[in-house]
Amino acid sequence: MFNKENDKIMFQKKYLEDPDLDFISKCSNDDLKTLADLLVYDTDNKPRISEELSKTRDYREFYPKEMNKITTEIIHEFQLYGGDTVANAVRGHGIPYRQILMDVCDRTKVNYNKSSSTERIEMCFVQRVLDDTLDKMEYSDILEFANDLQIDATKYNNKNALKDAIIMASMSPQFVSKIISICAKAIVPRIGIALGGFAAGQILVRLIPIINIIALGFLAKELTGPAYRVTMPSVMLIIYMRHKLNETNK
């Protein structure tokens, strides 16, 4: 007979406290559902072979309308994807978010300082995605992008110089929300971002098809293992969720 209390105690033994993800419980129900769905379902909306989240009693009870009640289970599932299957079995839990973030950064060749704050490393990852996107865009699209960010393109005499200027500007408080939202929408297509307000201006809306192509190619090229196909978009989604909550609380 399945005892709920015993099940909870067993689960708590496996859960790894993760200060970098404490904010998750304060996120919207829709964003938490998106994260859970990313962990449970593949791109064809079929359950992932290795997922355990949907098998928990609390998931079956509270999904999809009370997601804040299963944040511990969601974080635990994410941590397991970040760790090696055999190592997870030995230690009884996965690995913390910061380690997963740095692993994804290493796999995607992000230039970052390991002693930096978690949020700073997250922004290095966002810059890497943006840089890869701009590198493959047509110059005419880059000019439009620069115009939307109010950058005077006439000051830069080549594509690389303008691209660097865009990356610098996009990380400013004025534009960072747009960039994070678009990168999240590109890498996690199922996320429900309202394009406008928090998310993006009209030029960025037009750029979504381009960014989608680049992001999906980026994912296929850089992350070969099935676990990385979960952790990479999950990291991007978590970055979006953190920034969205920070903006809401200002």
Q: Which residues contact 26 (CB under 8 A, 6 or more apart)?
A: 245
pLDDT of res. 8: 47
Query: pLDDT tens string for the chain (250 positions)?
Result: 334 544 443 344 477 899 999 999 999 999 999 999 999 998 788 999 888 899 999 999 999 999 999 999 999 999 988 877 645 654 667 899 999 999 999 988 899 999 999 999 999 999 988 888 788 788 888 888 888 778 899 999 898 999 999 888 888 888 888 788 878 877 787 776 544 444 445 555 566 666 665 566 665 655 556 677 889 889 999 999 999 899 888 8
- The values of phi and psi at residue 157, to 5°, are -95, 0
Tell me the whole-structure pTM to 2 decimals.
0.85
pLDDT of res. 181: 81
CB 100 within 8 Å of CB 122: no
pLDDT of res. 219: 58
**Within a 10 A sphere around the Cβ of 81, how many other Cβ atoms?**
23
